[in-house]
Amino acid sequence: MYDVAVIGAGIAGIEAATQLAQMGYEVLVVEKDGRAGGHVAGWDRLFPFRRNAAGLTAEMLKMMDRGKAVNILAGTTVADVQRDGQQFRIWLSDGQGITVSAVLIATGFKLFDARRKEEYGYGIYDNVITSADLEQMFASGKPVVTKKGERPKRVAFIHCVGSRDEKVNNRHCSKVCCATAVKQACEIKQMYPDAEVYCFYMDLRMFDRHFETMYLDAQAQYGVIFVRGRLSEAAESIDGRVTVKAEDTLMGKMLKISVDMAVLMAGMEAAEETDKLAAMLKVTVGKDGFLNPADECLQSNFTREKGVFVAGACTGPKTIPETLADARAAAVSIDGYIRVGSEEKSLREEIIGKIRNKREEIRSRRSRSEE
Ligand code: SF4
């Protein structure tokens, strides 16, 4: 018997489940992938201080496991949900059925499929990769090399791939990819100090604490070259290099450079199963595909459906600290909801009990007077 079902075992789901367990609730986390940790577990280093990503998720899982009140079902999805009064009956893909008082959606995001921007050649040109591919290369601990196994002498980072782009129906900014590009550009320079590294950006959104320092260090310490301009296209030359064309909007001229590797900063989109889950749990979805909270300021973890809560990037792009803070806030909201619900229930039971006692009293008084 569980109190809360958390859907998604990324960092939002893990953090919320840990907090709920510490509050004394029994929690079931349902995760579609074979392992917990979401995107962060597959990342190498995190900005701004290049903290080890796998270490962070391992630490979080250890903390969650401490209370032994959280059960994770990996490789499992939600097949159906039905409301049963104040509770939810949930059927899982493994055939199990559970009843819970509250559901937390923490399904996160999916990375934009860069193949949808055909003009950039991802999946077609050998040396066009995504930021996630590059991060995996870093995580492998091996030197980053081109498809031919050569060290890249010139690398271009392309910002806003699949974000802020009407053509792919994504108006939103994915928030974290400017900082990721700057981090990765510095890491390439650290690996290959004599490489030329470019960042092609529309505008740099280095909004958070320490981000500006990262950006200034990227220029002053590492010599990363920032070019303001959106890429129009990429083409592969016979030697496997990639020619990128962009307009430098600060200089007012077209640029065409040949690089050994182009890294596409793929943005965030709502996770695959968001629509389906939203329909099952009667949660509304925005035009951008992310879930709508009941109120983005005052009830950001509630939905319009009583007992259904949201946390993390399922309501829009977030940094890791924002996601974790959101997950903690969701746990507090769920705790309040369950406690008020049970307080209301015990108050109702108390009133019903008093009425019953009164009736009994009247009945026995009547029967005494009849005697
Ligand atoms: S964070 Fe930067 S790269 Fe990412 S979508 Fe926003 S502006 Fe573009």
- CB of 170 within 6 A of ligand 1: the answer is no
Q: Are residues 183 and 256 in the same domain?
A: yes
Q: Identify the CA nearest to 260 among candidates 190, 184, 197.
A: 197
The torsion angles phi and psi of 276, rounded to 5 degrees, stand at -65, -45
What per-residue confidence (pLDDT) applies to 324?
A: 98
Label residues 344-366 b or e (16+ Cβ within 10 Å = b).
eeeeeeeeeeeeeeeeeeeeeee
- CB of 173 within 6 A of ligand 1: the answer is yes
List Cα–Cα distances, 295 to 171, 288, 301, 314, 327, in angstroms: 21, 17, 8, 15, 16
In a domain, 176, yes or no: yes
The range of the structural domain enclosing residue 177 comes to 114-268
Check residue 170 and report its DSSP letter.
B
Whose alpha carbon is nearest atom 6 of ligand 1? Answer: 173
The pLDDT confidence band at residue 342, using thresholds 50, 70 and 90, is low
In a domain, 366, yes or no: no
Query: Cα(199)–Cα(229) distance, rounded to whole angstroms?
Result: 9
pLDDT tens digits, residue range 98-108? 999 999 999 99
pLDDT tens digits, residue range 211-223? 999 999 999 999 9
Query: What are the residues whose beta carbons fall under 8 Å from the beta carbon of 240, sequence distance 6 or more?
Result: 126, 127, 146, 147, 148
Give the percent of the chain with pLDDT over 70: 98
In a domain, 227, yes or no: yes
The pLDDT confidence band at residue 366, using thresholds 50, 70 and 90, is confident
Residue 320 CB: number of other CB atoms within 10 A?
A: 20
Query: What number is the average pLDDT over the span 238-249?
Result: 93
Whose alpha carbon is nearest atom 1 of ligand 1? Answer: 175
Find the CATH number of the domain harbouring 152: 3.50.50.60
The pLDDT confidence band at residue 331, using thresholds 50, 70 and 90, is very high
In a domain, 370, yes or no: no
> Ligand 1 atom closest to Cα of 160?
8
What per-residue confidence (pLDDT) applies to 357?
A: 83
What per-residue confidence (pLDDT) applies to 346?
A: 64
Q: Are residues 126 and 178 in the same domain?
A: yes
Q: Are residues 137 and 253 in the same domain?
A: yes
What per-residue confidence (pLDDT) applies to 344?
A: 67
What per-residue confidence (pLDDT) applies to 368?
A: 78
Which residue matches tokens 């159906």?
80
Which residue matches tokens 């909801």?
337
The pair of three-digit structure tokens given for residue 123, joined into one six-digit string: 């999946």
What per-residue confidence (pLDDT) applies to 349?
A: 67
What per-residue confidence (pLDDT) applies to 251?
A: 87
Query: What number is the average pLDDT over the span 301-323?
Result: 97
- CB of 318 within 6 A of ligand 1: the answer is no
pLDDT tens digits, residue range 1-55? 899 999 999 999 999 999 999 999 999 999 999 999 999 999 999 999 999 999 9
Which 3 state secondary structure label does DSSP give 245?
A: strand
Is pLDDT of 323 > 90?
Answer: yes
- CB of 134 within 6 A of ligand 1: the answer is no
Domain end marker among 268, 299, 328: 268
Mean pLDDT over each residue of the chain, to the nearest integer: 94
Is pLDDT of 96 > 80?
Answer: yes
Q: Are residues 142 and 97 in the same domain?
A: no
Q: How many domains does the chain have?
A: 2
Query: Cα(335)–Cα(19) distance, rounded to whole angstroms?
Result: 10
Query: Cα(295)–Cα(314) distance, rounded to whole angstroms?
Result: 15
Q: Are residues 141 and 246 in the same domain?
A: yes
Amino acid at 9: A
Is pLDDT of 252 > 90?
Answer: no
pLDDT tens digits, residue range 255-288? 999 999 999 999 999 999 899 999 999 999 999 9
What per-residue confidence (pLDDT) applies to 234?
A: 94
Q: Are the beta carbons of 311 and 327 closer than 8 angstroms? A: yes
Cα-only R_g, the chain: 26
What separation in Å is there between the alpha carbon of 178 and the centre of ligand 1?
Answer: 5
What separation in Å is there between the alpha carbon of 139 and the centre of ligand 1?
Answer: 23
Q: Are residues 51 and 85 in the same domain?
A: yes
Q: Are residues 232 and 301 in the same domain?
A: no
In a domain, 367, yes or no: no
List Cα–Cα distances, 149 to 133, 138, 146, 238, 261, in angstroms: 15, 15, 5, 16, 12
The pair of three-digit structure tokens given for residue 63, joined into one six-digit string: 């903390």
Residue to mutate, 208, 265, 268, 318, ligand 1, most ligand atoms under 8 Å from C-beta: 265
In a domain, 363, yes or no: no
- CB of 177 within 6 A of ligand 1: the answer is yes
Q: Are residues 306 and 258 in the same domain?
A: no
Q: Are residues 154 and 104 in the same domain?
A: no
- The helix/strand count (H/E) of the chain reads as 8, 20
Q: Are residues 263 and 295 in the same domain?
A: no
The pair of three-digit structure tokens given for residue 366, joined into one six-digit string: 């009547």
- CB of 162 within 6 A of ligand 1: the answer is no
Q: Are residues 150 and 242 in the same domain?
A: yes
In a domain, 208, yes or no: yes
Q: Are residues 139 and 77 in the same domain?
A: no
What per-residue confidence (pLDDT) applies to 178?
A: 98
- CB of 266 within 6 A of ligand 1: the answer is no
In a domain, 280, yes or no: yes
